[in-house]
Chain A
Amino acid sequence: MSKITIPVRKFDAVIVGAGGAGLRAAIQLSEAGLKTAVLSKVFPTRSHTVAAQGGVSASLGNSEEDHWHWHMYDTVKGSDWLGDQDAIEYMCRKAPEAVVELEHFGMPFDRTDEGKIYQRPFGGHMSNFGEKPVRRACAAADRTGHAMLHALYQRNVRANTQFFVEWMALDLIRDAEGQVLGVIALEMETGDVVAFHAKATIFATGGAGRIYYSSTNAFINTGDGLGMAARAGIALEDMEFWQFHPTGVAGAGVLITEGVRGEGGILRNSDNERFMERYAPNAKDLASRDVVSRAMVTEINEGRGCGPHKDFVLLDITHLDPATIMKRLPGIREISIQFAGIDPIKAPIPVVPTCHYQMGGIPTNYHGQAVNPDGSTIKGFYAAGECACASVHGANRLGTNSLLDLLVFGKSSGDSVIEAINADPKGLKELPADFADRTLARLNRLNTQKGGASVNETRLEMQRTMQKHCGVFRFKDMLVEGVSKICDIEKAVHLTEIGDKSQTWNTARVEALELDNLIEVAKSTMVSAEARKESRGAHVRDDAPDTAANPNGRDDEVWLKHSLWHREGNRLSYKPVNLKPLSVETIALKTRAY
């Protein structure tokens, strides 16, 4: 019983998000001649992909011997065996092709003296099944993400992709059979609400790191795709797994790339000790991110932190040749000067572990198709990049695998859409009569709310709760209390009030709508984390310690499974991890040690 109608625009495919994954998917679709709309809250080259500084992993073997199978082994091990081995094999095998393709799109990679793509070492990437660090990260100085985004955007311009810039998608449209038929979106400039009716919808909305108080994520990362999926009844997978980057600038959250340690940076405590030698005797400062984060927090907790409050450690590159710093890490020097007030050529940078990347997300297979809990596909719906969970990162992502993820699954989701559209020439399925009701009711509630909560204060309360109750180290009682707190905060989110009711550029409304999405991510994270009574990868609980029976606190007997959080009923279900690769033997479970 729809009362109000909204304008409807028809496309073959609509992509939400114009970062690396969205742009890579759009190239496939537009070059195949499909009428493709890409919606983005910002101009495409302002997407957060720009912030990926360090590189994109591929076993090109340009500097030393390498193999995709070694890359696969590292990724499975990095994931603490929670990653699906079919998807991981697919991604690692496709990596060299994805990088070469990008080069053909005009990506200006750095070169070796022989003219090959320059590759640097990166945490967790090893040769010969974990033997010693290997140079696998293909880089364009410390601007890899920026250069990638520009190359992909230019290719889209050539392919006539249609961009809708400064539009925010609000909700998925699903029919009674569960098929996805597009999205409803808001144009910020006019306040118009429009339906994008499409045969296929790809979400490439990126991460949701703004659920945390201390985060390296730009303000744009509000988990819009996850909020929309959750409201449409789609379960979210493995949301308890958030990677904390070991080296955020203390106080600001601004990221210092792992490439700094790849180029020889050393972590030191207040005794000036290179403490990673004790925690990871082989990989040392290049151990996997969660191993490094845990070591840093342990140093701080045991009183060996630096500064007046002993609440950070130091990242030291003062021993490097200033010419190397200027050549390989110019951006890092500038960031350190602006946000820490320190020139890293002269003094070490104060750093702390900071929320950085979301491993979980919308469940997909390696074709980029969104899947139901039973593994069947959700017709018309696809996801790629950080908002998706294929799952290649499992419980912990390796550095440089994120740019690879968005290239490989951006492309595979695009290819899946083309295949689906070619196989079903019937065209667009009709929209249900009430398709816009829920969205319009939400907007109307916001416009008429009286005596409600402030958006800024409610968001801050959520961020502080997540940081305190569900941070890099987790404690049983804090998690239990956290679930109840976040449910209380959710009630305030549903009663937010905005002063500005105007149509044109009403950013207060947009921020309230972003908070609607953030709270779904926060809830799913807290509930999934409270329930998982083990330590695995980035999810580390003090009541699941390292024991002989469960090394590192990992309990494969009970917990070798993916979490699925359902918004309806705020409940969890689980599904098995796929341990069967596509062509090689299973990478057998073993204790993760570096």
Chain B
Amino acid sequence: MEAGAELNRLRWRCTRRAMLEMDILLGSFLDKHYAGLTPEQAAVFVALADMEDLELWPLITGKRECENSLQAEVVAMLRNVKVK
């Protein structure tokens, strides 16, 4: 798949989610930070976006521990996205 199409697919999966909260959070992250991620961080973000909202939410709120330090790094960036 071409890069443009792949990014569009990711955009769809970030902004057509079950909950408004996650549309806002992941959509803001994609716009503000995605382009600046390393390939490793980008892969982690794609995997996070593939998770269901109520699985991802506990990671963002710190209720569930991240699997590894790389995931923790991206989750920390997500948590700090300014949504307003």
Which of A's residues lie within 8 Å of B, judged by CB?
Answer: 41-42, 45-51, 143, 146, 166, 188-189, 215-220, 251-255, 330-331, 334-335, 337-339, 500, 502, 504-508, 510
Contacts and interface: CB of A to CB of B under 8 A. Distances in A.
Contacts of B39: none
Contact of A505 (B5, B53, B63): B5
A219 B23 contact: yes
A219 B2 contact: no
Contacts of A49: 18
Given A51-B20, A252-B24, A337-B61, 15 more contacts: A42-B18, A46-B17, A50-B18, A219-B15, A220-B16, A220-B17, A252-B83, A254-B24, A334-B57, A334-B63, A338-B79, A339-B24, A505-B9, A507-B9, A507-B12
Contacts of B4: 500, 502
12 contacts: A42-B17, A219-B16, A252-B24, A254-B20, A334-B57, A337-B61, A338-B83, A339-B21, A505-B5, A505-B8, A505-B9, A510-B12
Contacts of A47: 18
A46 B21 contact: no
B12 A143 contact: no
B54 interface: yes
B43 interface: no
Contacts of B13: 42
Nearest to B52: A45
B53 to A, nearest CB: 6
A218 B8 contact: no
A334 B19 CA distance: 14
B35 interface: no
Secondary structure type dominating chain B contacts: helix
Interface of B: 1-2, 4-6, 8-9, 11-13, 15-21, 23-25, 27, 52-54, 57, 60-61, 63, 79, 83-84
Contact of A253 (B12, B20, B25, B27): B20
Contacts of B61: 334, 337-338
Nearest to A331: B57
A589 to B, nearest CB: 37
Given A252-B83, A338-B61, A504-B1, A51 B9 contact: no
B2 A51 contact: no
A217 B20 contact: yes
B28 to A, nearest CB: 11
A45 B20 contact: no
Residue from B17, B24, B25, B53 whose CB has the most chain A CB atoms within 10 Å: B17
Nearest to B62: A334
Contact of B16 (A42, A189, A334, A500): A42
B18 to A, nearest CB: 4
Given A166-B12, A252-B83, A51 B54 contact: no
Nearest to B6: A505
Nearest to A143: B54
Nearest to A510: B12
A39 B20 CA distance: 21
A218 B20 contact: yes
B31 to A, nearest CB: 12
Contacts of A338: 21, 25, 60-61, 79, 83
A260 B83 CA distance: 24
A49 B54 CA distance: 12
Contacts of A189: 9
CB-CB nearest 7 A-B residue pairs:
A50-B18, A505-B8, A505-B5, A334-B61, A504-B5, A507-B8, A219-B23
A534 B83 CA distance: 39
Residue from A42, A251, A338 whose CB has the most chain B CB atoms within 10 Å: A338
B37 to A, nearest CB: 20
Contact of B23 (A166, A218, A335): A218
A149 to B, nearest CB: 8
Nearest to A215: B20
Given A219-B23, A334-B63, A505-B9, A51 B18 contact: yes
A13 B24 CA distance: 35
Given A50-B53, A502-B4, A505-B5, A251 B18 contact: no
Contacts of A330: 63
A48 B22 CA distance: 11
Contacts of A505: 1, 5-6, 8-9, 12
Given A50-B54, A143-B54, A338-B60, A45 B23 contact: no
B16 A41 contact: yes
A387 to B, nearest CB: 17
A339 B83 contact: yes
A339 B20 CA distance: 11
Contacts of A510: 12
B6 A146 contact: no
B30 to A, nearest CB: 12
Contacts of B2: 502, 504
Nearest to B10: A505
Nearest to B7: A505
B13 to A, nearest CB: 8
Residue from A189, A218, A339, A504 whose CB has the most chain B CB atoms within 10 Å: A218
Nearest to B25: A338
A50 B16 CA distance: 13
A510 B8 CA distance: 11
B29 to A, nearest CB: 13
B40 to A, nearest CB: 24
A545 B79 CA distance: 46
A50 B54 CA distance: 9
A42 B23 CA distance: 13
Contacts of A335: 21
Nearest to A335: B21
A51 B61 CA distance: 17
B83 to A, nearest CB: 6
B18 A218 contact: yes
